[in-house]
């Protein structure tokens, strides 16, 4: 009887240790699951505020092991992911409007019925082409052929007479070219161009800004088609695939949690049954010892009860082994998913960083835009409030810019903006910040700089612009800037600082332009 008791105690101790190992294994599984959710949160960060909140809540719930809230959070996350897919339609609608305007301009350039019918058939395919980017390049190629035929640089299926442009219509062709250039530049801005196509896109933008001629138009449109093909299936398709993968990962997480919960409930139930049976058999042994008067009968009864305990423990051990096998299999699957998500997250994060940079960059000049300026100004203002570090702000505006646009055209005006931005950036100090505020207005932050030093730095910029050899068709074009400068002072908020610099700019305009004025301290 004593050996049986020792055997029972040993097996009971082994099972207790095994339960502890299972609990430790469960903790590792939950840790890997939290890691997966952390990577999902990292990859999707910044795409949607509500989605960020839901993913953060999912991470907290997993940390607290509050399984009751998980299904509702997962349903909300799937809803948010679906909402993101709808937002891409806004960009598509803008592209549709651009292409429709292009076809309308081609109709106005040559209203011949045969041309109108051909363009009309293309126009009806615009929505489908923008929905499936692989069809967009083909549609633009057809528009290129029509355009080239109208300008005498390509073959057309209709007669040449239908597309002939009179030499007396040179002014109409020039107007059409300027309008086309504006539309093409806007289309390029809409394209999600990968890194390998950025230089080609910049070169194309510069070429378009120089003006579209009949000879260069086919080559320009051909380059545009190449950019469309580069962008085809790039950012949008990658992000759509990532969203689909995310849905799959979320489904897997939900399945993992449900199966783990069911296994845990089953393990608790099995452990409870084992405990009840062991206690029942021990009570029976105790009763048999107390009531038995025959040693042989007692031995037989105790042996039966101990055998029952051993069978119960063997059954429990087998169930635990099967449960551990299932957990290990799910654990391996989870590790694979985590590795996949780490790779996908790194790609999406890199793409999101590119998109965030695009969102803070002015597409025409390449300078930071007003959003980026607001962020930097807020940071400088906070630093000044905390540490008392002075800084100054300059607001600059191109003199008589409307005349440049009216007399030389908007393409020349855009070129002026780009060149002014380039000269200003080249002559800035290394720690200064410049942005295009809007229109022909620029803002410059001078960190750790007082008004007098900022005045000197601004004068250097103003003189650099005045000395630059702007010209149009070989004729000198005078381009100058007026500036207003203001230094941060007590009780200033960002708006008050800007207003004082803007008032100084207004004073510089009133006093003859092409000069810098410093905002008053009062």
Active-site residue numbers? 440
Please tell me the distance from the alpha carbon of residue 14 to that of residue 6, in angstroms, as a whole number: 12
Q: What is the 3-state secondary structure (H, E, C) of 266-327?
A: HHHHHHHHHHHHHHHHHHHHHHHHHHCCCHHHHHHHHHHHHHHHHHHHHHHHHHHHHHHHHH
Please tell me the distance from the alpha carbon of residue 386 to that of residue 380, in angstroms, as a whole number: 10
Residues facing residue 483 across a β-bridge: 396, 516
| Residue 366 CB neighbour total at 10 angstroms | 14
Please tell me the distance from the alpha carbon of residue 245 to that of residue 493, in angstroms, as a whole number: 46
Token digits for 149? 């035929």
Tell me the angle at which helices 133-150 and 70-109 cross, rounded to the nearest 10 degrees.
10
- C-alpha angle 505/509/514, rounded to 5°? 95
Q: What DSSP assignment string belongs to 145-195?
A: HHHHHHTTSS--SS-GGGG---GGGHHHHHHHHHHHHHHHHHHHHHS---G
Taken in order 25, 31, 35, 38, the sign of the CA dihedral is positive
Please tell me the distance from the alpha carbon of residue 407 to that of residue 486, in angstroms, as a whole number: 34
- C-alpha angle 188/238/74, rounded to 5°? 130
């Amino acid at each position: 009887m004593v050996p049986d008791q020792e055997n029972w105690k040993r097996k009971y101790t082994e099972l207790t240790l095994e339960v502890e190992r299972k609990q430790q294994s469960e903790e590792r599984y939950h840790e890997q699951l939290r890691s997966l959710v952390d990577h999902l949160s990292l990859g999707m960060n910044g795409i949607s505020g509500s989605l960020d909140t839901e993913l953060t809540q999912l991470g907290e719930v997993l940390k607290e092991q509050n399984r009751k809230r998980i299904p509702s959070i997962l349903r909300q996350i799937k809803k948010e992911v679906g909402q993101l897919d709808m937002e891409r339609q806004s960009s598509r609608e803008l592209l549709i409007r651009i292409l429709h305007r292009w076809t309308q301009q081609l109709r106005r350039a040559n209203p011949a019925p045969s041309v109108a019918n051909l363009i009309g058939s293309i126009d009806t395919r615009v929505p489908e082409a923008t929905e499936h980017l692989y069809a967009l390049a083909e549609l633009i190629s057809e528009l290129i052929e029509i355009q080239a035929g109208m300008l005498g640089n390509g073959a057309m299926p209709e007669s040449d007479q239908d597309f002939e442009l009179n030499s007396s219509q040179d002014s109409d062709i020039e107007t059409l070219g300027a309008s086309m250039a504006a539309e093409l530049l806007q289309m390029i801005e809409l394209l999600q161009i990968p890194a390998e196509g950025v230089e080609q896109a910049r070169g194309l933008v510069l070429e378009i800004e120089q003006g579209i001629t009949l000879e260069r138009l086919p080559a320009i449109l051909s380059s545009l088609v190449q950019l469309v093909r580069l962008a085809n299936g790039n950012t949008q398709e990658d992000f759509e695939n990532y969203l689909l993968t995310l849905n799959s990962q979320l489904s897997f997480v939900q399945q993992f949690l449900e199966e783990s919960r069911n296994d845990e409930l089953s393990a608790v139930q099995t452990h409870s049954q084992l405990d009840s049976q062991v206690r029942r058999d021990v009570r029976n042994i105790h009763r048999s010892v107390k009531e038995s008067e025959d040693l042989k009968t007692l031995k037989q009864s105790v042996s039966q009860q101990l055998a029952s305990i051993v069978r119960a423990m063997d059954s429990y051990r087998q169930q635990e082994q099967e449960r551990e096998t299932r957990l290990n299999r799910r654990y391996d699957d989870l590790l694979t998913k985590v590795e996949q998500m780490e790779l996908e997250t790194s790609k999406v994060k890199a793409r999101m960083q590119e998109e965030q940079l695009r969102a803070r960059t002015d597409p025409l000049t390449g300078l930071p835009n007003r959003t980026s300026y607001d962020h930097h100004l807020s940071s400088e203002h906070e630093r000044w409030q905390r540490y008392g570090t002075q800084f100054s702000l300059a607001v600059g505006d191109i003199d008589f810019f409307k005349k440049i646009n009216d007399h030389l055209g908007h393409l020349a005006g855009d070129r002026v903006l780009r060149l002014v931005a380039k000269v200003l950036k080249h002559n800035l100090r290394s720690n200064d910040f410049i942005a295009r505020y809007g229109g022909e207005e620029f803002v410059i932050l001078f960190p750790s700089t007082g008004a007098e030093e900022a005045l000197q730095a601004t004068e250097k910029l103003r003189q650099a612009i005045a000395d630059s050899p702007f010209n149009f068709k070989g004729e000198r074009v005078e381009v100058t800037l007026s500036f207003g400068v203001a230094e941060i002072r007590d009780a200033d908020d960002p708006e008050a600082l800007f207003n004082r610099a803007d008032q100084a700019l207004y004073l510089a305009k009133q006093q003859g332009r092409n000069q810098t004025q410093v905002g008053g301290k009062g």
